[in-house]
């Protein structure tokens, strides 16, 4: 089949990064101020630095003749589609973002968005997580989305409370040991 009859927005290769998680219907896109700034910085970097460089490379490669065998041209066009897709995604996410400053709860022992929570599970293992927005979640940094099951179970609990977490493996009980928020700037 000719490349002319394939959809451009379909994944071209299996190594392409999966799309970011979609927000459930009717859910607000909460972000911390730092998370909002990171998304804005990424958007600005794509629009002001990376995209113009790729456009220049594609323009130069297009002048070199046969485009069907020109690696710079083919890779550049593919990268431009990826950048444009990410720019559209970031623009939409920033438009619906609701910035919530967790430092407003500094000194509070109740769990809200932005809280860093230390809790103990049924096996006696301690875990420390920070509840952040969907676009800020990073399991390697113990930053979980506020719509994650653990976060949903912990929200509105206080230090010393025991909450129930229902999982496919069964019911777990979590004991809240400590709740903290960043200090106000």
- My answer on whether 33 and 92 are in the same domain is yes
Q: Flag whether 90 is in a domain.
A: yes
Domain around 94: 29-99
Residue with tokens 């730092």: 34
Q: For residue 67, what are the contacts with CB-CB under 8 A and spacing of at least 6?
A: 61, 73, 74
Average pLDDT over residues 155-162: 96
Task: Say how many Å lie between the first and final Cα of the chain, rounded.
Answer: 59
- At residue 173's C-alpha, the angle toward residues 167 and 176, to 5°, is 120
Q: At what angle do helices 71-95 and 33-45 cross, to 10 degrees?
A: 150
Given pLDDT bands bounded at 50, 70 and 90, which one contains residue 185?
Answer: confident
Task: Express each pLDDT in 33-44 by its tens digit.
Answer: 999 999 999 999
User: Considering the domain boundaries, does residue 2 fall inside one?
Assistant: no
Instruction: Please report whether residue 13 resides in a domain.
Output: no
pTM for this entry: 0.78
How many domains are contained in the chain?
A: 2
The reply to whether 65 and 50 lie within a common domain is yes
Handedness of CA 140, 145, 146, 152 (dihedral sign): negative
Q: Let me know whether 110 and 131 are in one domain.
A: yes
Tokens 């609701």 -> residue: 98
Residues 6+ apart with CB under 8 A from 63: none
Query: Looking at the structure, do residues 90 and 142 belong to the same domain, yes or no?
Result: no
> Does 135 map to a domain?
yes
Please check whether residue 115 is in contact with residue 131, taking contact to mean a CB–CB distance below 8 angstroms: yes
Claim to verify: residue 123 and residue 153 sit in the same structural domain = yes
């Amino acid at each position: 089949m000719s490349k002319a009859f394939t959809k451009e927005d379909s994944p071209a290769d299996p190594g392409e990064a999966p799309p970011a998680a979609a927000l459930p219907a009717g859910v607000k896109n909460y972000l911390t101020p730092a998370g909002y700034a990171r998304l804005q910085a990424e958007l600005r970097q794509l629009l002001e630095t990376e995209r113009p460089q790729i456009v220049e490379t594609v323009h130069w490669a297009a002048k070199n003749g046969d485009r069907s065998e020109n690696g710079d041209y083919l890779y550049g066009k593919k990268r431009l589609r990826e950048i444009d897709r990410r720019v559209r995604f970031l623009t939409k996410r920033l438009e619906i973002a609701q910035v919530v400053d967790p430092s407003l709860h500094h000194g509070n022992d109740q769990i809200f968005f932005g809280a860093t929570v230390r809790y103990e599970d049924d096996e006696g293992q301690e875990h420390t997580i920070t509840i952040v927005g969907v676009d800020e979640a990073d399991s390697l940094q113990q930053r979980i989305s506020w719509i994650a099951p653990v976060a949903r179970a912990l929200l509105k609990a206080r230090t010393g409370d025991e909450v129930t977490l229902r999982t496919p493996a069964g019911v777990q009980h979590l004991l809240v040991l400590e709740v903290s928020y960043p200090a106000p700037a």
